[in-house]
Structure 1
Amino acid sequence: MSAARSWVPVPEGSPFPVQNLPYGVFSPPGGAPRVGVAIGDRVLDASAVWAGTPLGADLATGSLNRFLRRGRGEWAYVRRRLTDLLTGDGQRRLVEANLHPLDRVTLHLPFEVADYVDFYASEAHATNLGRVFRPDGEALLPNWRRLPVGYHGRAGTVVVSGTPVRRPAGQRLGPDGEPFLGPTGRLDIEAEVGFVVGAPSRPGEPVATGAFADHVFGAVLVNDWSARDIQAWEYQPLGPFLGKSFATSVSPWVVPLEALEHARVPVPPQDPAPLPYLEEKEPWGLDLQLEVRLNGAVVSRPPFRTTYWSPAQMLAHMTVNGASLRTGDLYASGTVSGPSADERGSLIELTWNGRDPLRLPDGSERAFLADGDTVAITADAPGADGIRIGFGDVSGTVLP
């Protein structure tokens, strides 16, 4: 069976074929924000397709949250209907009238973030950091292979791709061993994959791994900016705080789980076997290929398929104590790193905590980020018939 084709022109290599149809929030020139769906180099105003209906009202807003709250059945219906409209000629005139060139619209944060949780799910990343900071000890702590380790972040500082990131200040240790307040000297990135919760759950009721797709709508790319020197001084014994809470960037497009059906793979072998609540009856690892660019130069290609804990396992662990899900909850994988040196998703790993600086094509070197640096992270995944499903990118420029 041949791949479906849209009558909307899709440029060669576009991350947004009709098999993708990611959701975002955009403003046309002079217009108010509303929900749109990317196709090729256009965005379709989804609210106009259902104008005059309750669904249309939920889409004619500056956030995906009202649509996400409708649940999995409605998500599937809207996706089927949009696919029909973009591949058939039945209502082509209506669709054409509501297509906007992507380069002429403004993209916004796609959803209102309710809570933000960040995990530490990549074995290669956790092992690398263990070797950096505990060279004479075990790289992984005893609990790491028993549960998805995570921390609760700050929802209010999640920003959309393209938002500049100002270098944060905080306490850090000086060369004399005394703390002082000042801007971070070790600003870093973390290339991650995030998951957006649509359907909420009730307090006191854990969400099983098998219910993952009933609650999670889709995935985004995440850059969890990190101030390593601030983090190193503050994080013991309670974990990350000011070194992480100043900015977390997300991509403007949310790729639905349905678009990633062909990317599903088992997670790597887990030893010891996880406790029953973390067991998966169906695989929810994802074969996503990330790419990290610093000032336009590719510095890493992290593979998400090597991530030890799946997003379904992360969700199950996050709720096993009875914590409820809210529409708009965002949780991220933590830094995605692979086993090879060119697959590390953070500068602290790529430069081995600054010991081995990166040399960029212009001859400059980076141990950590300098003011004016721009970081962009992209990713794609396999789709049907060799088609690649893209995420667009998440980017940000460092301000002094």
Structure 2
Amino acid sequence: MRKPFTPHRKLPKNCIPESYPLPPTPYPLPPTPMTQIELHNIVKTYPRQALPAAAEVSLHVASGTLVAMLGPSGSGKSTLLKLIAGVELPDNGDIRLDGQSVLDVPAHKRGAVLMFQKAYLFPFLSVAENIAFGLKVQGVSQATQHAEVRRMLELVELPGCERKRPAQLSGGEQQRVALARALVIQPRVLLLDEPFSSLDPTVRQTLQEAVRRIQRERGITTLLVTHDRSEALAMADQVALLDRGELLACAPPQRLFARPPTRRAARLMGVTTFLRGELAGGQLRTGLGTLTVCTEGVPPGQATYAIRPEHLRLGGAPGPNTLPARILSQTFRGEQHEYQAQVGDATIRVWAFQPLDAPIGAQVFVQFPPEHLFAVDDDEPEGRHKHA
């Protein structure tokens, strides 16, 4: 029979993965505490980088919620996680957990656990020993360790894998073990830095659902970094949009998807068509033509409206709120057909569930339903206005 892991088995120096800060308080712990996170005007810059990684970012994460930080590479998402975890310090601003500043609190005492794209499991330890590692550091009894390992394996749906080594697990299973190792010490805050990005789509979705279920059951305040819009929308209570170190918006996913407040936020939400013109009497006069729009809350004068590609409609005949167009390309994407169409001197993208009976180069009409046109604050330079 294989010997259990005991303290006299020495670990190599520097063997603790950077993704695994030591637990903050002695075991046993009460149920996971509800912890709120507050970022106040956080500024972080790096040498030889033109733009700041964080430019006066203020964000509130309510206790027990999951907030997804969505944005392109280099937008500052991972930097914010490191600042919250205490791996790095901000140049300016404050970070508070439950109203208390933690700027002077070392990383291992903040109660935050980081999970990365890679699981960072100890290859020479079994699954059970990997999960129990934090408890062992805390001096928890072996009986309690065994009970907690079994409980965690049930939680992440890997019962019976105690004796396996990481090399015997799939990528998704390794991430489940990493999640169990993070949760067993009952952290105040769970920080996820694209933990699903290297997994195949089926495993990714399964693990997303598992993390969301566990997060809700245990009420762990969680921040998820992702560049995958569908992942953010599916998992989050709130989605925070970041770009070039700036926080553009933070709102529930359904609201942010339907009505992003600015042009840059709309792009991150998949909006590709923007119309800028003079608004008067419910009409938007643009260089492409005049369209009827909803003007509630929008003052007359220069205005920018947006519309999602799935809300545009292609047809062979003119109608209400239509503009003439020419089909440039068609791409079949499984559930939908994607068209590129030229309207005046602009190129727009249209998604259709049924193919249009018209060849490439055909003259058609694009309809802009007024109920789907919404105003946005224009926060982009003029050079990006023509092409989505």
**If the length of structure 2 is used for normalisation, what is the TM-score?**
0.24
Between structure 1 and structure 2, the one with the greater Rg is 2
TM-score (norm 1): 0.23
Point out which structure has higher relative CO (alpha carbons under 8 A, 6+ apart).
1
